[in-house]
Structures are given as structure tokens and as C-alpha cells.
Structure 1
Amino acid sequence: MKRLIQRGLMFGNLIEVSSSVLVERYNRALKHLTGKTTDLTDFHIDISGYSPEVGEALNDHLYLNQGGCNRQFILLTTEQKTAPLLGAKFSTSRDILKAFITENEPQLFALTARDAVAGELVNSVYSVTQPARLFDIRKVVVEADTTEGTIRDADKLGQMVDRFKQDDDAWFDDVLIADMITLAKRTGDVTRNPVRLRHMEFAQDNFWTAHFGGLYVFRGVEHPAAISRADKATLGDLPIKYLFDFNDRNRIAKFFEYNGLVESIVMSRGIDASAILRQKMDFIVVDAAQDAGVDLTGATRRDIRGLARAHADQLPEEFHGLQKLVNWAENDGPWPRITSDHPAYFYTLRAADTADRDLVNMLLAELAPKDVRQLFICHKEAFYAAYAGWSDTKKSYVADFLEREYQADKVGARAALFGHDAPMQDVRQDDLIAQVGPWGAVRG
């Protein structure tokens, strides 16, 4: 993984913790949450306060996420909202943390100027030892306070102030006044500067979890289903009507279609569909070259396409399916009938413009894993797992490509691949598409 780290493709955008003051605050929060501390004097943290260096030193990379269910967090600065979330067990966790920091930024800025804020993403489930337990998760509530209990004390002081104002005898209550003065020294004037964090809870209808080999749960759609990366038979009975695994290509395609979750790349407006498909073809060639033991060191796009021409008859069906689609789009060639049975099918799709587009693109990345760019952008955990098993020459090629083509303009790349404009109205083959769908009839 060293080449990924060196290129900023792994552990990128982490927040450095090097001052003795911040290290001391981090240790105080760490002790508060876990009973542990670290002897490290500098390290890096993600949006949740997790540090890979601290995890290595403690020999416990789940020190803030025991059981992988209720993520704990340590905030030293509001700048953590720009950092990634490492080792995510649920796809929603980073968005929840980012929303919490953003919505409470002024208050958190004031609190972290004096102390660390420690907290937890709390749901009704404390253990997910059985797959069915995942379906008991309905919402996540964010709980947080400083290590000194500033929020708790501020609430208590606010209640005392209300009592002091309302009780006619409060002026003579020396104990109440003394307690108010003591708390005010820690919290400041809560009447002028109230120290409160907005209560935030988030519905958990649609999400991915790393548990049980990887599972996508879609409960908040018209036709709910769960989709497992592992054999669905290993999950037992689940409280959802439909359960698919990655072998159920036709049924997953129907699920996407019935819920309006995907759109074809070539029918999407505002993107260079041919360029996107050609890049996917290049990645498929790279994968085939790895299997054939071809050295890709320093290979350019021209070299990759040269390999494709020289070994076209040895390339997989994914390549030939996309080639036919490009020929249709660029050269007015015959319409290719690519059904969900075809290995290229999921490579031809992207998420439609819905609230679940990131989750859908994440699932599509796993269904079309040879597109390493989409896998890296949409599903970091799956990318790193796949990367570990590649040949050295493919690792080098992919790392160089991502540094050159993606790191230079992340926002632009994401917009070009996944951004949405109005759907195309003047598409060729309209009558055919109306009859059988853009990829032909989807068979069950």
C-alpha cells in the first residue's frame, strides 16, 4: 500500500495532530471513551478522530468502533469535517459526522478551543452478531460532550438560572448561588452564549454495511430488497421480502429498474459517454494484461489500446460489449443488445439522480469491479481489498493513473462521471428503447 500512501490515494486529507496541547486533549478524550491512552507525540486523525498510527500502537484498529456498530468519535477541530472516514462499517457514518459538525460548527469551534469533544453515533443495536440484527437499526442519534462535561454542566446551569429567576426565595439560597458560580466558571455565561449542540438523529433506511461480507439494505424504496456480496444462503432468514446476492444479476437489474435507481451512460445528458466507456475498456484490458503476465510499467493509453488491438480475440466479453456500445454511439453502428446476463451490463450504468445515488454507485462499483476508477471513487474499502491482490505491475499502473487523472481534479472527475443534467430527449432508437428498455428486455 506504500505507493498509494505516497500518492495521497490512501490516508489522504487526514488531520495532523502534533502540538502537545492537542495530543493531551486527544488522550483525555481517548481515556474518557476507551480507558486507553497513547504515548505517540504526533499522529493523524480522520473525521471521527480515529488514527491509523494510534490503532497500530494500541494493536487495535477498532479502538473507537468496538463491535463495528456504534461508532465513537473525538473532535479536536471542526476541520475534521473535510477528512475521510477510515475503516467504515456503515456507508452513512461519514455523512452523519459531517452533518453533525457542519450544523453545530460555531458551538463546536468554541468548545474545541478549550477541550476535545467526545461522542458516539448511537443506535438501538449494540451488537450485530446475527444478520437479522442489522434490520433493527432504524435511526442513529449523535451524542456528544466535552471530556469535562461542558454541555452537561451548561444544561444544568441553565436550569439553575431558570430556577433563580422564577423562585422568589432564590435570592436567599446561598447553596444555589454558589453552585451557579462554580458551574459558570467552567461553562461561561450561558444566558448570553448558550452552549448547546443541536439534537440530531438520522434515519437508517438505505445503507451499506461491511458486516457479513458486505450487505446493501434498501428499505426506503418502493420495492425494498437487500443485496449481499456473499452467498445469500449464509445470511439465514431476514426480515425483508427480497434478498439477492451478486449471482442474481437479472433480479438486481429488475430491482434497479423498478425503483428508478439507475440510468444508462449513453443516454445521459451532459457527459462524454464514449470517453467514459473507452476508459472502462482500458481498465478491462489492464485486468486481462495482468492475468496474462504483461508488464504494464510506464504504459500509456496508446500502449493499452495497442494491447487491445493485438490481443482482441483474447479479451473478455465485457470489453467487446462496451466496444459495440461505443461503435453505436460514435459510428451509427447497430444497436447492441446488452441484457443483464451480459458481463458488460453493469458497466453501462450509473446511478440516477436520487437521494441514494452514492449508495447505488457504490453497489455498481462492486458489480463492475474492473472499472478501478469507479471502485476507488465510490467504494474505497472494496478498492483497497482488491488492490492487495493485484500484481505489482497492475498496482503501479492503477496508482499512476489515479494520481494523474483523478487526484489532479477530483471535483471535475466526479462531476464528469456522476453529475446529472436534464435527461436526453432526442435519443436515437427511441421506439426500440420504449419497447424493451435501453438494454433489451430484462429476463427473470
Structure 2
Amino acid sequence: MIRLIQSGLMFGNLVHISSPALVERYNRALQHLAGKTTALTDFHIDISGFSPEIGDELGDPLYLNPNGVNRQFILLTPEQKRAPLLNVKFSTSRPILRDFIEANEAQLFALTATDAVAGELVNSVFRLRSPADLFTLRKIEIEADTVGGTLKNADKLAAMIERFKTENDAWFDDVLIAEMIGISKQTGDISRNPVHLSHKAHEQRNFWTAHFGGLYLFPDMQHPAMICAGEKPRDEMPVKYVFDLSERNRIAKFLDYNKLAEPIVRARGMDAAAVLRQKMDFIVIDTAAGAGLNPAGLDRGDMRRLARMHADRLPDEYHGLAELARWAENGGDWPRISADHPAYFYGLRAADTPERDLVNMLLAELAPLDARQLFICHKELFYRHYASWSEAKKSFVADFLAREYQVDKAGARAALFGHEPEMESEDSPPGLDERLIERVGPWGAIRRR
């Protein structure tokens, strides 16, 4: 993993904490939340305040996420909003934290000038015993305050001020006045500088979780389903359809019925052939690395020669993508690739819906030889796969991502996943029957049971 870290592909954009004042505030917050402290004087934190160095020191990668359910957080600066979230257990956690920081940025800037803000993403479950429990996680609320209780004291002071202004004898209540003066020393003048954090409740409808081997939950769809990366649960679930990743036809039908995915070759403004050729290159590299070859420094011509040399070794994913690329470049007969074909999900991307990121994450898991999409859409799974690759493949993929993706992340994402209106039929290559596609799916009929 050192190669990824050095290239900024792992632990990138973490916030560096080295100031003694910030370390002291972090320790106070950590003691407040978890009853622990760190002896480190120099570490990095993610958007939630989790530090991989402190996780190693404590021997607990979940020291801010007990049971992996209610994520706790420590904010030392609003700049944490740009950091990633490590050890992700729910796909919704980072967006919720980022929304909270952005909605309260001015207040957090003032609060973190003197203290750390500690809090928790609160839901109704403290421990997951069954996948069915996940369907009860419908609403996530944020509870947060400074370690010194600034917000709590501000609310208390506001109530005292209201009492002082409305009760007839409050002017003569020396105890009340003394308490108000004492609390105001901690909160400041809340009449001129009110201290308040917006705590919007977040609906958690469709999401991914790392629990139970990895689950994609789509309960809030016209045709709801749960898709399991691991074994399917034996218990009855609150949704009618439960699939595992081997049930490719059923997953394809689910995506089709809910209009969640679209074929790459039909996307306007996208160089579909180039994207498909790049996916093929990753498959060639995987094959070459498996044969003991070193693919370092190869260009596109080298890739073609390598593919010819090892044509008998290349998997069906490569040959299916080659058909799609030839069609995208030259037209001709429409490729008949069913959902059973290993290349099917490589040729899809998420449609422009609110579930786009979740669907791209699922597609990345269904097309694991595309290392670039796996890295962009499902980093946790990318790191697991990377650990098992040969050194030659690790080197090629890390160099490619550092060279082609890191330098222009926004451009790469827009090229791969950005959305423009779909091509009209007159703009399509010859041989495309739009009515046939609508009837049988983008690459051919989805087998019906």
C-alpha cells in the first residue's frame, strides 16, 4: 500500500494535525467520546476526525465508530469537509457529514477556534444482529457540541435570559443573575453572536453498507430489492427481492425496470469507444500480469500487441468489450451480449438519477477488472483487490491512476459518469434499432424466469 500512499491514492486529502493546541483539543474530545487519548503529537484525520495512525496506536480501527453503526466525529476545523471518510460502513455517512459542515460552516469556524466539536450520527439501532435491522435505519440525526458544552450552555443561558426578561421578580434574583454571568463567560454574548448548529434529519433510503459481507439496499424504488455481495440471508427480508452477485439476469432486470443504468455507447458527449478500449487495457494488464509479464511503460500499441500475443488467455470480458468497441467505432451489427455474458456490466454506467453514485458502486463490484472504475466508485473494495494483485499489476494501476486520474479528477469523472441527453436515433451508428433496444435491453434480451 506504500505505493498508493506515496501517489496520493490512499489517505489522500487527510488533514494534518501537528499543533500542540489542536492535539490537546483532539485528546479532550476523544476522552469525551471514547474514554481514550493518544500519545501521538503528529497525525492525520479524515472528515470524521478518525486518524489511521491513532487507530494503529489503539489497535482499534473503529475507535470512533463503535459496532460500525453510530459514527462519532471530532471536528477541529471546517476544512475537514474536503477530506475523505476512511473505514466506510455506510455509503451515506460522508455526504451527511459534509452537508452538516457546509450548513454550519460559519458557526463551526467560530466554535473550533477555541474548542473541538464532538458529535455522533444517531440512528435507532446500536447493534446490527440481522440484515433486516438495516431497513429500520430510515433517519439519521446529528448530535454535536463542543467538548466544553458551549451549545448546551448557550441554550441554558438563552432560557435564563428569557426568564429574566419575563418574570416580575427576576431583577432581584441574585442567584439567577450570578448564574447568567458565570455561563456568559463561557458562551460570550449570545444576543449579538447567537451560537446554534443546524441539525437537519437525513433520510437514509437507498444505500450500501459494509455489514454482512456488503449489501446494496434499494427499498425506496418502484421495484425494491436488496443485492448481497456475500451470502444471501436466510431470514425473510422487508423487500420482496433479494439477489446475490451471481444472479446477473435478475440484477440486470432490476436495473432495467427501475431505469437505473444505461449503456455507455448511447451516452451523448462521451467517447464510448475510448472508454471501452481503456477497460480492455486493464483486462490485458490483468492477463499479462497473471502470465508473469511486467506491463510497465506500455503504450496503446504495446497493448494491442500484448493482446494478440495472449489472445487465447484473454477472458470473455475482453472479447465482449471488443465487440462493443468495434460497434461504437464502425457501426455494423448490434452486439448481442446478454446479462449472462461477463462483459455485460462493463458496458453500463449509472443513469442520471439520485442513486447514480450507489449504482456506479454496484456496477464497479460487478466489473472488478476495470481498476479505474473500482478505484473511483468503490475504494474499499479496490484496496482489498489491490492487496492481492501481483507487483507488476500494482505498479501499472497505481502509475495509471496517478498519471491519468489524480491530475484531473473532475474531468475524469465527467468523462466517465457525467450525463448529457441521450443520443437521438438519427445520431446513432447504423444498424441500431431503438425499438428493439427498448424491448430487449441494451445488449440483448434479459432472460426472464
TM-score w.r.t. length of structure 2: 0.97
Match of 1:218 in 2: 218
Match of 1:259 in 2: 258
Report deviation, 1:287. 1.3
The yes-or-no answer on 1:439 pairing with 2:438 is no
The yes-or-no answer on 1:140 pairing with 2:144 is no
Moved more, 329-338 or 4-13: 329-338
How far apart are the structure 2 equivalents of 1:235 and 1:128? 16
Residues 352-391 of structure 1 deviation map (CA, whole Å, 9 limit, x = unaligned): 0000100000000000000000000000000000001101
How far apart are the structure 2 equivalents of 1:230 and 1:346? 18
Q: Any unmatched runs of 5+ in structure 1?
A: none
Residues 170-198 of structure 1 deviation map (CA, whole Å, 9 limit, x = unaligned): 11111111111111110011111110101
* Amino acid in the other structure paired with 1:211: H
**What does 1:77-226 correspond to in 2, within 5 Å?**
77-226=77-226
**What does 1:289-438 correspond to in 2, within 5 Å?**
289-426=288-425, 427-428=428-429, 429=432, 430-438=434-442
How far apart are the structure 2 equivalents of 1:392 and 1:4? 12
Identity of aligned residues (%): 66
Contact 1:131 1:235 in 2 (8 A): no
SS in 2 for 1:226: strand
Report deviation, 1:235. 4.9
Contact 1:299 1:397 in 2 (8 A): no
* Amino acid in the other structure paired with 1:351: A
Report deviation, 1:436. 2.2
Contact 1:225 1:241 in 2 (8 A): yes
Contact 1:317 1:344 in 2 (8 A): yes
Q: Any unmatched runs of 5+ in structure 2?
A: none
How far apart are the structure 1 equivalents of 2:34 and 2:79? 23
SS in 2 for 1:388: helix
Report deviation, 1:20. 0.3
Residues 286-341 of structure 1 deviation map (CA, whole Å, 9 limit, x = unaligned): 11112222222333333222211222232111111111111111112321101101
Contact 1:339 1:440 in 2 (8 A): yes
Contact 2:121 2:141 in 1 (8 A): yes
How far apart are the structure 2 equivalents of 1:99 and 1:263? 29
User: Which runs of at least 4 in structure 1 moved beyond 4 Å after TM superposition?
Assistant: none
* Amino acid in the other structure paired with 1:249: R
How far apart are the structure 2 equivalents of 1:131 and 1:329? 42
SS in 2 for 1:313: coil
SS in 2 for 1:61: coil
Match of 1:9 in 2: 9
Moved more, 122-131 or 13-22: 122-131
Residues 67-91 of structure 1 deviation map (CA, whole Å, 9 limit, x = unaligned): 0000000000000000000000000
How far apart are the structure 2 equivalents of 1:30 and 1:330? 57
Moved more, 142-151 or 417-426: 417-426
Contact 1:261 1:360 in 2 (8 A): yes
SS in 1 for 2:312: helix
SS in 2 for 1:121: strand
Residues 186-240 of structure 1 deviation map (CA, whole Å, 9 limit, x = unaligned): 00111111101012111111010001110000011111100000121x4532222
Residues 124-159 of structure 1 deviation map (CA, whole Å, 9 limit, x = unaligned): 000013222112211110100000000000011111
Contact 1:283 1:371 in 2 (8 A): yes
SS in 2 for 1:102: helix
Contact 2:345 2:366 in 1 (8 A): yes
Moved more, 319-328 or 111-120: 319-328
How far apart are the structure 1 equivalents of 2:82 and 2:221? 30
How far apart are the structure 1 equivalents of 2:160 and 2:387? 58
What is the aligned residue count? 443
